Amino acid sequence: GENVEQHPSTLSVQEGDSAVIKCTYSDSASNYFPWYKQELGKRPQLIIDIRSNVGEKKDQRIAVTLNKTAKHFSLHITETQPEDSAVYFCAASSYSSASKIIFGSGTRLSIRP
Amino acid sequence: NAGVTQTPKFQVLKTGQSMTLQCAQDMNHEYMSWYRQDPGMGLRLIHYSVGAGITDQGEVPNGYNVSRSTTEDFPLRLLSAAPSQTSVYFCASFQGNGNTIYFGEGSWLTVV
């Protein structure tokens, strides 16, 4: 089955700087890679996703890149703001494993004022 | 459109008691899942379902049962609660690969 590894587990950056979170996956058939943000005490919510036919996707200050050959994908947050402080989760799925979504272990991002 | 609704939000159980966490979705999603999240930890898959009458085990299924008699409902049963089951439980639903996963608000369970 799919295995997703996420690094780092914690990340502290100065407000205004960039943050990068990386995930690797094991199943070469995976074709969908979402990122979820979970604020303290809240439910995880989708912030951006990418499909395997695309190498990069941007949405304002966040972007996701995908390297299918190396089987890794990354979340990039630029010009970080206090409201970016949260736990971020990655996931990978394929048509055959779509029902069994396995998430990475999460990254706790803290933005220092 | 309420999305994914979980009840109860908070529950304290004594060791050995049983209980059911309720989950309902009104988006007509085929796929539903239960995750647990321990403090400072990630989301671990307990059980999942690909449609009414079909369920399967996830990463950490021991001590839990599920059923899916309708598309809308996916209850999670704790058979004999143990302190190790103290956690936050999230129900989720989605329409298949490549679609957004919608989570419920979570159920905070403490077993004493």
pLDDT digits (tens, 9 = 90+) for A8-30: 999 999 999 999 999 999 999 99
pLDDT tens track for A47-101: 999 998 889 999 999 999 999 999 999 999 999 999 999 999 999 988 777 778 8
Rounded average pLDDT over B19-47? 94
For residues B104 and B36, give the distance between their C-alpha atoms in angstroms, rounded to a whole number. Answer: 12
CB B89 within 8 A of CB B35: yes
Q: What pLDDT score was predicted for residue B2? A: 79
Provide the token pair at B87.
């956690």
Cα angle: B101, vertex B103, B108; to 5 degrees: 150
B96 confidence band (pLDDT: 50, 70, 90): confident
For residues A90 and B86, give the distance between their C-alpha atoms in angstroms, rounded to a whole number. Answer: 24
Using alpha carbons, list the distances in angstroms from residue A111 to A9, A23, B42: 15, 20, 20
Cross-chain CB nearest to A98 (options B35, B56, B97): B97
Chain B residues with CB inside 8 Å of A51's CB? 98
Task: Say yes or no: A54 contacts chain B, CB-CB below 8 A.
Answer: no
Contact yes or no for A45 and B45 at CB 8 A = no
For residues B92 and A8, give the distance between their C-alpha atoms in angstroms, rounded to a whole number. Answer: 25
Identity (one letter) of the amino acid at A42?
K
